[in-house]
Structures are given as C-alpha cells and as structure tokens.
C-alpha cells in the first residue's frame, strides 16, 4: 500500500527542508508541489493553458526559486482551474509504491486527504521573514528586513484567504512550530512522527 507523507505550511516555515530530509531518511520520493505553481506562473500567458501543458522541462527552469516567481505562483495558485489541472499529477506521484513525500499548501486537506502522515510546519511571520532575509544576504541583501516581512505577510494572506484550497492545517495534522527550533530539531521531530506511523502501519 502506498505510504504518503503530506507536509503543508506557509512560506519559509521549513517544510521543504523537513520534506526532503524525511524522504531521504525513509527512501521515499519527494515532490515540491510549489514548483508546479512556480512553473505555471513563470510560463506567462494563460495560466490555465500553462497548467494543462506543464512539462518536465518547465519544472527544470533555473529561475523558479526567486521571490518574484513565488509571488507569481501565489497569484496563479488562487485560480481553481489551475489547481484542478495539477491534481492528477500530484495524486499519481503520491500513489507510487515506494512511498512519497509531497510538500505544499493543500496536500493534507485536498490532494491527499488519506495521507498516512500529515505535518503542518509553521513558524511566526517574523521568524520566517528573518530566514528569507538572511538567505538573501542579511545586511547585504537587496531588500530590507521590513520589506521581506511585508512580502511574507502578503503571501500568507493570499494563501490563507483564497476560496479554493486555502492554506490551513488538516484536522488530523501534527503541527510542528519551528520558530524556536533548529533545522536538526525540526527534522528529528518529523522523522519521529513518520517512524511511529510506519511502525503502526506495518503492525509492529
Ligand atoms: O518555498 P515557499 O514556501 O515560499 O513557496 P512554494 O512552496 O514554492 O509555493 C509558492 C506558492 O505556490 C505559494 O505561495 C502558494 O500560493 C502556491 N502553492 C499552492 O497553492 N499549493 C501548493 N500545494 C504549493 C504551492
């Protein structure tokens, strides 16, 4: 039976790092679903047509990680037709026999409501903005901390406020607040939750 781990949460909460580490630790495949929305936003033109014709090459573009691409992603992600066009790809990925980890915003609520494990990785907006700002160079970053914080808040508001698949924890998600945690500590907690579920699902 496929074993799916759903990792959801807001921008820069650490969900990508947690998802990658869990996948590596248990030998599961990993899909960063944000990349799908980033690729749709980056293609330009009609976003619905872009989502319907998305290819591997679109996902391999090297300009998808920028804040501008994240902003564009969050805009096209509010369109139900775009989200609908990406469902089958994500569900197929989740059903692969060796186990899969998907990270995004609506994995535990919409894409994989029956996932074996659901993690909701979060952190205070100020903490997330500081991480993004430090990644961009801190005092030498092109943008001030306050402007990064404004962007984080704006993206949260759009992702949580949209009508279709808004960002929220599934009722049965385990919340992991990484505000005061190191990456190692956050990963260790996530690994412990997954290990415990795996043991239960194998009857051990
Ligand atoms: O890395 P970061 O958390 O900043 O962003 P991301 O996970 O790459 O997602 C970029 C944007 O895509 C988000 O702000 C969401 O609006 C959208 N998204 C979504 O709606 N559903 C997903 N499953 C993944 C991303």
CB 106, CB 53: distance < 8 Å: no
In a domain, 186, yes or no: yes
In a domain, 35, yes or no: yes
Digit-coded pLDDT (tens) for 26-69: 999 999 999 999 999 999 999 999 999 999 899 999 999 988 99
In a domain, 25, yes or no: yes
Percent of the chain residues topping a pLDDT of 70: 99
Percent of the chain residues topping a pLDDT of 90: 94
**pLDDT for residue 189 is more than 70:** yes
d(CA 192, CA 121): 14
- CATH number where 22 lies: 3.40.50.300
Domains: count for the chain: 1
Range(s) of the domain holding residue 91:
4-198
Digit-coded pLDDT (tens) for 112-146: 999 999 999 999 999 999 999 999 999 999 999 99
Element (H, E) at 30: strand 29-32
Q: How far is the CA of 152 from the centre of ligand 1 (A)?
A: 12
Q: Which of 63, 75, 82, 105 to mutate to test the pocket of ligand 1 (most atoms within 8 A of CB)?
A: 105
In a domain, 203, yes or no: no
For ligand 1, say whether the CB of 11 is within 6 Å of any of its atoms.
yes
For ligand 1, say whether the CB of 74 is within 6 Å of any of its atoms.
yes
């Amino acid at each position: 039976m496929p074993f799916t781990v759903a990792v959801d949460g807001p921008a820069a909460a650490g969900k990508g790092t947690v998802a990658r580490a869990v996948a590596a630790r248990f030998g599961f495949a990993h899909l960063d679903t944000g990349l799908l929305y980033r690729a749709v936003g980056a293609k330009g033109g009609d976003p619905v047509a872009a989502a319907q014709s998305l290819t591997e090459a679109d996902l391999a573009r090297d300009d998808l990680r920028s804040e501008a691409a994240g902003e564009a992603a969050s805009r096209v992600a509010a369109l139900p037709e775009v989200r609908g066009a990406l469902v089958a790809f994500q569900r197929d990925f989740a059903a692969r026999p060796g186990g899969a980890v998907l990270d995004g915003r609506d994995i535990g609520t919409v894409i994989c409501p029956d996932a074996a494990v659901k993690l909701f990785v979060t952190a205070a907006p100020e903490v997330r903005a500081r991480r993004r700002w430090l990644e961009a160079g801190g005092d030498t970053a092109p943008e001030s901390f306050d402007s990064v914080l404004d962007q984080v808040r704006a993206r949260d508001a759009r992702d949580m406020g949209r009508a279709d698949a808004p960002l929220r924890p599934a009722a049965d998600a385990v919340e992991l607040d990484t505000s005061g945690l190191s990456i190692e500590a956050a990963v260790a907690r996530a690994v412990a939750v997954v290990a415990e579920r795996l043991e239960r699902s194998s009857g051990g």
